Amino acid sequence: MNKGQAEKRIQELRKQTEYYANKYYDEDKPEISDYEYDMLIFELRNLEKEFPELASTESLTQRVGGRVKEGLKKVEHKIPLLSLQDIFNLEEIKEYVEKIQAQAKNKKIENSSFVVETKIDGLTAALEYKDGVLVRGATRGNGTIGEDVTENLKTIKNIPKKLKEKIDIIVRGEVFISKADFEKMNQEREANEEPLFANARNAAAGSLRHLDIDVAKSRPLDMYVYNVQEIEGKEFNSHYEELKYLEELGFNVNPVKIHCQNIDEVIEAIEEIGRKRDELTFGIDGAVIKVDDLNFREILGTTAKSPRWQIAYKYPPEQKATKLIDIVCNVGRTGVITPLAILNPIQVAGSTISKTTLHNQDFIKEKEIMIGDTVIIQKAGDVIPEIVKVDKEKRTGEEIPFEMPTVCPICGAPAVREEGEAAVRCTGIECSAKLYRNLVHFVSREAMNIERMGGNIIEQLLNRNLINNIADIYTLKYEDVLALKKNGKKFAENLINAIESSKNNELHRLITALGIRHIGTKASKTLARKYKTLDKLAETNFEELSNIDDIGPIVANSIIEFFNQEQTKDLIKRLKQYGVNMEEHKEKGTDNRFKGLTFVITGTLDNFSRNEASDIIEKFGGKASSTVSSKTSYLLAGENGGSKLTKAQTLGVKIIDEQEFMKMIK
């Protein structure tokens, strides 16, 4: 490669690594695997070595990736939190150890030993203690400036809030989520049709850096400490001695720390960690080799990016080939139909893999996967099994292409993929796979508002076969629900009354409750005002619906498809039999003080929810919109107004606070 070609490739690599580093560090949404990213950095570093005149301090080979997240307070690290130089083969590790030990001999350093530790796959953080009390915690950020995440770190049970000695100390460690907890989190997210976390590291990072402390509280975060950054009143000779002291103080210290005297022991330690990595409760992506003598570390110093006294060996991801026996489809709680690969069982990274998700039709098409293929499996982040590629050379011609079903495999209702979406969904309202989610939505506050009938009660009703579809709610009797709670007489009475009361709800609540795709509270009110009865809405046509404000062609099509289904017709028929109101209530008042006015609500209100404020606006003849424009009459702004407030100010829209709004509706 000549200099011109090298310069072009270096520019490409810098652009790519910047993009992927931003996705990984700043957005916590990686788009490629750690190994793929490492290989790009490795190629870039080698080209910069070969053509040193093309090197730049702005390259990610020369600086730490990561920026401070907007909304988090900046913290300047007293001691920079540098990153590690990565090595991908054991020969280079041998060269590194030999070089360090030669320097030790030259400097007459007696202790030329090393400590080999696991490189935990998490987010680096520093903890600062004053008189033994935790006063501040921060992420690494760019190494010099990090993010203040003290309150989020305090939610982690294994971080001591008070040490066993009154001492001033700053320590460094890694925040992570264990393999078991990560797998459980993703199983729950999959059941709820939420996007899966790409890996444990980014799940931990996103949780720790979240602006809402309740998110950090709800996540199973943990932390291992592995370094003293600064300490007052104590001196140590070796890193191993430091680690023992950190344990005495009450810190959760990295459990894998192997003291090594020579090259052979270092290599054996790396290989032992590699052999046992599947047995570890936490994910790792390498081993860290550290000089043990602290005075020698001072002599070795650091580069702009990395300490010279430690280095990381990165393990390659384990991949295995196996046969894809079949592709079956699962239906999630929200109706998303997900293809699942059934595999000839294979051991990968310590686990037996017999199935893995294929995500959607686009993924299958991109990887050119067919039933009967030999596929290459690896575990992403050592946890999630995935198909990396197909071994096309092993095809026999008997492989079968796969197409997503056009009907739900559970209930037989049409399965549709809407424009702009990757997912195929079941459209049946009585599909058993979706029943729990549909019931929770039907009884929710924005829909039929059946108080005391939360998710736990619905689960019990389903488990006891007291309800098998939505309409069965209205067949429940006092005796049915009496045993759902201890001393449940009052509960049963209140629940039955709430169910009975919901029969008289306004029509828009029923439309919302039916869960028609793309139809929320606002569109439900529009449809109820327009059609007055559910029967008239069910009999309307596409052209008429498309011309209604806030509806449009995509939503219109969704409404037509919904009411054309036999399952929908059956449900409506049964709801009518049980006395559920199907008509818009007649207007009781003639106060149209907001007629011709359009309001947009932003931020958090003290006395109303946004839905409640919207109801009041519409009750007085006004329109509640979600978008600020030049036609907006008022922006009702609560705390943290955000971009809508900024846009309203730019357009000169009149901005009112909650007190002014309350005067207007008095």
- Please choose, from the candidates 426, 368, 462, the residue with its C-alpha nearest in 3D space to the C-alpha of residue 193: 426
- Please choose, from the candidates 637, 644, 594, the residue with its C-alpha nearest in 3D space to the C-alpha of residue 616: 594
- Please choose, from the candidates 200, 159, 167, the residue with its C-alpha nearest in 3D space to the C-alpha of residue 181: 200
Given this model, what pLDDT does residue 348 score? 80
Q: Tokens 């929710």 sit at which residue? A: 444
Which ranges of 22-149 does DSSP label H, i.e. alpha helix? 34-50, 90-106
Range from 43-52, 110-119, 221-230 carrying the lowest mean pLDDT? 43-52
Which ranges of 431-473 does DSSP label H, i.e. alpha helix? 435-443, 455-463
Reduced to 3 states (helix: H, G, I; strand: E, B; else coil), residue 390 is: strand
Cα 637 from chain centre: 29
Residue type, 489: K
Query: Domain locations in the chain?
Result: 3-54, 74-314, 319-394, 427-577, 598-665
pTM score > 0.75 for this model? no
Given this model, what pLDDT does residue 367 score? 94
Given this model, what pLDDT does residue 552 score? 84
Annotated catalytic residue, options 23, 49, 78, 119: 119
Q: Is 46 exposed, middle or buried (0-12, 13-18, 19+ CB in 10 A)?
A: exposed
Return the ∠ at Cα 632 (arms to 629 and 633), rounded to 5°: 155
Is the pLDDT at 18 greater than 90, yes or no?
no
Given this model, what pLDDT does residue 502 score? 97
* Whole-number percent of the chain with pLDDT over 90: 59
Is the pLDDT at 586 greater than 70, yes or no?
no
Reduced to 3 states (helix: H, G, I; strand: E, B; else coil), residue 572 is: helix
Between CA 386 and CA 19 the distance in angstroms is 23
Give the DSSP letter string of 135-175.
EEEEE-TTSSEEEB-HHHHTT-TTS-SB-SS---EEEEEEE
**Residue 149 to residues 18, 171, 332, 405, Cα–Cα distance (Å):** 24, 15, 35, 46
* Whole-number percent of the chain with pLDDT over 70: 95
Count of other CB atoms within 10 angstroms of residue 173: 25
Between CA 101 and CA 110 the distance in angstroms is 10
What is the per-residue pLDDT across 410-444, written as a single tens digit (0 to 9) for each?
999 999 987 778 889 999 998 999 899 899 999 99
Count of CA atoms in the C-beta half-sphere (13 A) of 266: 27
Between CA 149 and CA 205 the distance in angstroms is 11
Is the pLDDT at 305 greater than 90, yes or no?
no
Q: Provide CB contacts within 8 A for 156, sequence distance 6+.
A: 175, 216, 221, 222, 223
Query: Alpha-carbon torsion 347, 353, 359, 364, what sign?
Result: positive
Query: Would you say domain 319-394 falls under CATH 2.40.50.140?
Result: yes
Which residues make beta-bridge pairs with 337?
Answer: 331, 424
- Please choose, from the candidates 504, 482, 505, the residue with its C-alpha nearest in 3D space to the C-alpha of residue 493: 482
Range from 15-29, 342-356, 500-514, 538-552 carrying the lowest mean pLDDT? 15-29
Is the pLDDT at 28 greater than 70, yes or no?
no
User: Where residue 316 falls among pLDDT bands split at 50, 70, 90?
Assistant: confident
294 φ/ψ angles, rounded to the nearest 5 degrees: -75, -35
SS (H, E, C) 630-646: CCCCEEEECECCHHHHH
Is the pLDDT at 46 greater than 60, yes or no?
yes
Is the pLDDT at 106 greater than 90, yes or no?
yes
Q: Do domains 74-314 and 427-577 have the same CATH topology?
A: no
Which residues make beta-bridge pairs with 601?
Answer: 636
* Fold of the domain spanning 427-577: DNA polymerase; domain 1 (1.10.150)
Residue range 631-643: mean pLDDT, rounded: 89
Is the pLDDT at 100 greater than 60, yes or no?
yes
Which residues make beta-bridge pairs with 287?
Answer: 118, 313
What is the per-residue pLDDT across 149-205, written as a single tens digit (0 to 9) for each?
999 999 999 999 999 999 999 999 999 999 889 888 888 887 776 777 877 888 898
What is the per-residue pLDDT across 50-91, written as a single tens digit (0 to 9) for each?
888 888 877 877 766 555 556 678 999 999 999 898 998 999
Q: Check if the beta carbon of residue 311 is closer than 8 Å to that of residue 84.
A: yes
Q: Tokens 């409404």 sit at which residue? A: 559
Residue type, 440: V
Q: Which two tokens stand for residue 210?
A: 């979240």
Q: Tokens 């402390």 sit at which residue? A: 213
User: Domain 3-54 belongs to what architecture?
Assistant: Orthogonal Bundle (1.10)
Q: Check if the beta carbon of residue 401 is closer than 8 Å to that of residue 408.
A: no
221 φ/ψ angles, rounded to the nearest 5 degrees: -75, 150
Residue range 495-523: mean pLDDT, rounded: 93
State in words which class domain 74-314 has.
alpha beta
Between CA 216 and CA 209 the distance in angstroms is 8
User: Where residue 261 falls among pLDDT bands split at 50, 70, 90?
Assistant: very high
Radius of gyration of the chain measured on its C-alpha atoms: 31
Q: Is 58 exposed, middle or buried (0-12, 13-18, 19+ CB in 10 A)?
A: exposed
Residue range 41-58: mean pLDDT, rounded: 84
Q: Check if the beta carbon of residue 341 is closer than 8 Å to that of residue 367.
A: no
Residue range 287-307: mean pLDDT, rounded: 93
User: Where residue 224 falls among pLDDT bands split at 50, 70, 90?
Assistant: very high
* Fold of the domain spanning 598-665: Rossmann fold (3.40.50)
Given this model, what pLDDT does residue 477 score? 94
Given this model, what pLDDT does residue 133 score? 96
Between CA 556 and CA 8 the distance in angstroms is 51
> Is position 576 annotated as part of the catalytic site?
no
Q: Check if the beta carbon of residue 332 is closer than 8 Å to that of residue 338.
A: yes
Is the pLDDT at 587 greater than 80, yes or no?
no
Average pLDDT, the chain: 89
Q: Is 189 exposed, middle or buried (0-12, 13-18, 19+ CB in 10 A)?
A: middle
Is the pLDDT at 382 greater than 60, yes or no?
no
